[in-house]
Every structure is written in structure tokens, then in C-alpha cells.
Amino acid sequence: MGDKKINMKKRKLGKSGLEVSALGLGCMGLSFGYGPETNKEDAIKLIRRAFELGVTFFDSAEAYGPYKNEELLGEALAPIRDQVIIATKFGFEKGQTALGMNSKPENIRTVTEAALKRLKTGHIDLLYQHRVDPNVPMEDVAGTVKQLIEEGKVKYFGLSEAGVQSIRKAHAVQPVSALQSEYSLWWREPEKEILPALEELGIGFVPFSPLGKGFLTGAINENTTFDKTDFRNIVQRFAEENRKANQIVVDKLHSFAQKKNSTPAQIALAWVLAQKPWIVPIPGTTKVHRLEENLKSETITLTHDDLREIESAFSAIHVKGARYPTALQDRVGK
């Protein structure tokens, strides 16, 4: 590693001074959520290949596993730790999403200390609250992270899937550097309230699932079957009849990609990148060829005409099915 490293363009996440590669790598799927975890050697190779291709921004959480994903990143990034930005998250009881939220100050501290060890590092570059905890005042959460920043254990503070009110409350106590939420051509909800608030406050945006949990790549259709442990089995949007109805989204992307001599995934990512200069998507993948395909999207320029054409094609489509089951939907936008 080293000589072959490509320098990808950099982006600043809002006004906080946090600078990262224009595309990051969402690492969740290597350990959690989309079927069996990836073989460790293969996962380490993928993470290091991403770095060679210019990625400096790697996203994890204690809940991915729990713990396995942070341990994997710790090992994979140890030789290049000073050249990368590591993001992780706290906020669930014992790191298990099924046990509900826990953003009590003492838990934030405990999780941070444990994450530092798992990540084999002296500091966490970006520490997110994974979901807003209705039982802990946001001022207490932001205040605890502020102390961790003062102690040098954390550099920047982030929120995930938070609503505008929570963002404002947190930002007043400790400036928020980034909000991480779902955003893509088939989930555009953040455009209503979130993006204007982030712009006003100078906060960066880190979209997860910018490829619609894989759907926008064109690799999934009505006949796809998911592994029994795959999260998509409980998502309405991935129900067979909805996949069939939503195929129009991919078909439109496909025809547009052909004109630009690229792939549907590349157009979907280039579209996200084109929305604001302070947006840094973090597509995840377990396959090196997909990683390479995704990262090429950074070199695709969509003109005003391209963006207008995509806009008019997509505004006419009504995507079928909710993005989360009810219990998980209740945790977002708070």
C-alpha cells in the first residue's frame, strides 16, 4: 500500500473544518444487516483497497455486529490510521438495536472508551449519536460529547437520522459537524426540511444507502431472494410486488446511464454528489468490483441539463413501499 494511492477530490463537511474524500465507505454491510458477515481477510482487503482508491472516510458503529465492525476497522486501518477519518456511533443499549436507545452520558463515555480500544486508536474523528434518545435531553448528549472533545478523545460530533429540532438543540451546545441520514434518488425526504437547516447551520450531510440499499444498482429485481438474515426482508419497499412496481426507477437510471457511458449506480451516486458541495455519500459494498464501480462516480459530471432531465423523469415516479418497518420508523426524524 502507498505508492498506488489515488487522490480523490476532497469535500468539507459543513463549516466545522472536517475534510474527507468526496465519497466515503459505509462499512456496516461487512458485518451486519445484509446477510452473513464477510470473511475477515476479504473485508480487510476491501477496506484497504478503498484507501488505495482515495477513500479517507470510513463509517462504523458499535451496533454493527455489535462490535465486530469496529474491531474490523481497527485492524484494517491500523497501518494508515493517521491518514484516514474514522466515524462511529453510540446510542443503543449494549450496542443492540433490539434493546432500544441509551444515550445516557455515562453510557456515551463507556461506549467511547470501548470503541477507542476496538478501533485501536487514541481518538475518534467523528462520533455520531446513532438515533435520538427520547429519554435523554439532547443538551446532555451534546454536552457529554463536548467534554469528550475537550479531552481529545473525539474530534467532531455528528447526529444520525435526527429531526431539525434535535439538530438545533445539539448544535447550540456543541457544533454538529455532520448529519447522517438516508438519502438517494428514491428517498428524497431530507430535501424538505433537513437540507435547508443544514445549509443554514453550516453542517455537512452524509447520506447512507445512496444506492437505495442496493436497488438502484439494477442488481435486484422482483425475482431476487435475500438471505434469511437480510434486513431487506422486513422492508416494505423490498416486498416482491413493490420491487416490481419500483423497477421503473432502475429502468430510467439505466437508460440515462447508457447515454453517459456509465452504470445506474454511478449515476445515482453522481446525482447525490451534485446536490450540494457539502454532501458526502457513503455507499457500502462487500465486493471490490462494486467498490471500484462506485468510486468512479466521483469523476462523472452531471450538467444542469442532465440534472433537469433526471429531475423531470423521477418527479413523476411514485416509489412504492415504506423505507422502514413501523418500529424502526418511529426512531427517525426525532
Whole-number Å distance between alpha carbons of 288 and 42? 9
Q: Are 8 and 23 in contact (CB under 8 A)?
A: yes
Active site residue 64: yes
Task: Label residues 197-211 b or e (16+ Cβ within 10 Å = b).
Answer: bbeebbbbbbbbbbb
For β-strands 176-182 and 154-160, DSSP reports them as parallel
In the set 64, 67, 128, 156, the catalytic residue is: 64
Q: Which residues contact 7 (CB under 8 A, 6 or more apart)?
A: 54
Nearest CA to 159 out of 78, 253, 91 is that of: 91
Q: Could you write out the DSSP letters of every residue in 228-239?
A: TTBGGGG-GGGS
Query: Is residue 210 classed as helix, strand or coil in its secondary structure?
Result: coil
**Per-residue 3-state assignment (H helix, E strand, C coil) for 88-128:** EEECEHHHCHHHCECCCHHHHHHHHHHHHHHCCCCCEEEEE
Q: Are 131 and 327 in contact (CB under 8 A)?
A: no
Residues annotated as part of the active site: 64
